[in-house]
Copies of this chain bind each other. A is one copy, B any other.
Amino acid sequence: MLTQTSLSPHRSTAFQVTRSASRPSAAAQTLLDQIDFMGSPMTFARNAEIYGEKEPADYVYKVISGTVRTYKIFDDGRRQIGAFYFPGDLFGLEVGAEHQLSAEAIEKCVVLVVKRSALIALADRDTDIARWLWSFTAGELSRVQKHMLILIKSAEERVACFLLEMAGRLAMTDAVELPMSRQDIADYLGLTIETVSRTLSHLEAKAAIALPTSRRIELRNRKALHHLNS
């Protein structure tokens, strides 16, 4: 499952440098940081599958570079994107035996791959680690709950929420370089690409945003966007 579309695991020189540091104690830092010392980097090409729905969830992943989407495809061919993951984000951690969604690289990605059993073993010895794993799942729950709430809003509100979310996660300034296509955005928001495109054009007409290129979006009036949020 890990080999189908990806390079075999190896340690890049960049990560070897990091690994040469002395290993801190379990409680001294978050598990998210510790994974840097436990994981093997793997590279995935654009659109490569990282794992598939219902495959054994034996590994957990941390994004080093690039962007990942998790999604589900329905019988009728429609796709719902569950989440986007950016550098620093952990994904693919399940409590059950199987992945609930599929995961793909949106663009060329490097991810650290860690055996889930290794994390579980740590958690059994260290209450803080166990607590952290629980918190992580609770964070995912919270995120999905928010995502669910945007699906009952109007197209304009959904797009505004999306832009604010992306700006918050991958931009320090008001300019965002989106790594995902209009189709990805549409499938994340439960809209069509035409509606996403039209809504962005409309927000630009209202001077809430600017679109220097189709992937680059500048927030010009966050207040107007937030107002759509409710």
Using a CB–CB distance below 8 Å, which chain A residues touch chain B? 72, 74-76, 78, 80, 82, 94-96, 100-101, 123-124, 127, 130-131, 133-135, 137-138, 140-142, 144-145, 147-149, 151-152, 190, 230
Select from chain B the residue with minimum beta-carbon distance to A130.
B130
Q: Of B95, B124, B144, which one neighbours A145 at CB under 8 angstroms?
A: B144
Apart from the given pairs A95-B138, A124-B127, 10 other A-B contacts in the complex at a CB distance below 8 Å: A76-B230, A96-B138, A100-B142, A100-B145, A101-B145, A123-B130, A130-B130, A133-B134, A144-B148, A148-B151
A137-B145 Cα distance, complex, nearest whole Å? 13
Query: Can you show 10 pairs from A to B with CB atoms below 8 A apart?
Result: A72-B149, A100-B142, A100-B145, A101-B145, A130-B130, A130-B134, A137-B137, A147-B148, A151-B152, A151-B190
B contact residues around A190 at 8 Å (CB): 151-152
B contact residues around A100 at 8 Å (CB): 142, 145
B contact residues around A135 at 8 Å (CB): 95
B contact residues around A131 at 8 Å (CB): 130
A131-B96 Cα distance, complex, nearest whole Å? 11
The answer to whether B130 and A137 touch across the interface, beta carbons within 8 angstroms, is no
B contact residues around A82 at 8 Å (CB): 145, 148
Q: Of B72, B95, B144, which one neighbours A134 at CB under 8 angstroms?
A: B95
Select from chain B the residue with minimum beta-carbon distance to A94.
B138
A152-B101 Cα distance, complex, nearest whole Å? 16
A151-B141 Cα distance, complex, nearest whole Å? 17
B contact residues around A152 at 8 Å (CB): 78, 80, 151, 190
